[in-house]
């Protein structure tokens, strides 16, 4: 088959965008800054009931995604969830909320829903991991929607669960679901001690990921530079090229042959996101 008959797989770039005024505004906000894909919340990340998603909202949302030629959209869960909490009520509500997000994301045609496992403050590490595994199992029990669940790599602050590849692998193995995947956040991984500053470092980190978790589980990337030095164990995002990962690191990520089927989603401060998108597009293979 000639080259013209082969569909070339390329990495697409987008960002987390606002749903102010209604989630159907997210595709418009994404298009305005040059997104090819985008990420959003479907409810307030700080708390409160989730707004109802009506048939009219779904139709408008999907029509706008088509109009602006957006290729993929994903959903981030709220920040207040904690599967590792010492309080059963918090663990229970976390599982219910993530299940709701999966169902809401499926209505909107979103590909993935990513979540943070939570913090083990006040809980023994072994018990915390057990709580997380039990909670994720509850989320997925009987679920038959189209959106897939992803564990997001954490930054390692405090007693956070999921900052080490070994912990993520333990959760995946314990849950035992074939489609449970991983969202790799560059700033979080870097803060947790995984170097990404050049091609050699990216190769080494991906090798460790593959040996520990398996690259087949890696489904998407959060592209964030880091205000924190390697292994600094704090979650502080920086614009692309302005942090400790740097331009060389992101060029190695964007051009890496093992990552070309994945899409990148920025979570940098809104006033510089459009510039970050242009920077990443210039690096594209």
DSSP-based helix, strand, coil % in the chain, nearest 5: 45, 15, 40
Rounded to whole angstroms, how far apart are CA atoms 230 and 227? 10
Topology annotation, domain 11-283: TIM Barrel (3.20.20)
Rounded to whole angstroms, how far apart are CA atoms 253 and 149? 23
For 223, list phi and psi in degrees, rounded to 5: -95, 100
Coil vs helix vs strand at 264: strand
Residue 8's pLDDT is 57
For the chain, the structural domain boundaries read 11-283
Residue 6's pLDDT is 43
Residue 182's pLDDT is 98
**Consecutive 10-residue averages of pLDDT for the chain (285 residues):** 50 97 96 98 88 96 98 95 95 96 98 96 86 98 98 88 97 98 98 98 98 98 97 95 98 97 96 97 90
Entry pTM: 0.95
For 125, list phi and psi in degrees, rounded to 5: -55, -45
Rounded to whole angstroms, how far apart are CA atoms 67 and 123? 48
Residue 122's pLDDT is 81
């Amino acid at each position: 088959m000639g080259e013209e008959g082969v569909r070339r797989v390329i990495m697409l770039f987008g960002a987390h965008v606002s749903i102010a005024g209604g989630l159907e505004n997210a595709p418009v906000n994404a298009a305005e800054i040059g997104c090819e894909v985008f990420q959003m919340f479907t409810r307030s990340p700080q708390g409160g009931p989730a707004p109802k998603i009506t048939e009219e909202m779904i139709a408008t949302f999907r029509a706008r995604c088509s109009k602006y030629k957006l290729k993929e959209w994903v959903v981030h869960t709220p920040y207040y969830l904690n599967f590792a909490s010492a309080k059963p009520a918090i663990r229970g509500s976390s599982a219910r909320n993530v299940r709701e997000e999966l169902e809401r994301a499926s209505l909107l045609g979103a590909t993935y829903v990513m979540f943070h496992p939570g913090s083990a403050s006040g809980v023994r590490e072994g018990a915390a991991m057990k709580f997380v595994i039990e909670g994720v199992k509850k989320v997925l029990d009987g679920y038959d929607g189209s959106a897939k669940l992803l564990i997001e790599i954490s930054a390692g602050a405090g007693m956070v669960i999921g900052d080490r590849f070994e912990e993520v692998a333990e959760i995946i193995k314990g849950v035992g679901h074939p489609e449970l995947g991983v969202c790799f956040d560059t700033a979080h991984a870097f803060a947790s001690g995984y170097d990404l500053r050049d091609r050699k470092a990216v190769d080494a980190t991906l090798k460790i990921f593959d040996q520990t978790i398996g690259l087949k589980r890696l489904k998407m990337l959060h592209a964030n530079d880091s205000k924190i030095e390697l292994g600094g164990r704090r979650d502080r995002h920086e614009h692309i090229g302005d942090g400790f990962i740097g331009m060389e690191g992101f060029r190695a990520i964007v051009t890496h042959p093992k990552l070309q089927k994945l899409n990148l989603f920025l979570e940098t401060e809104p006033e510089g996101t459009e510039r970050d998108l242009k920077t990443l597009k210039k690096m594209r293979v």
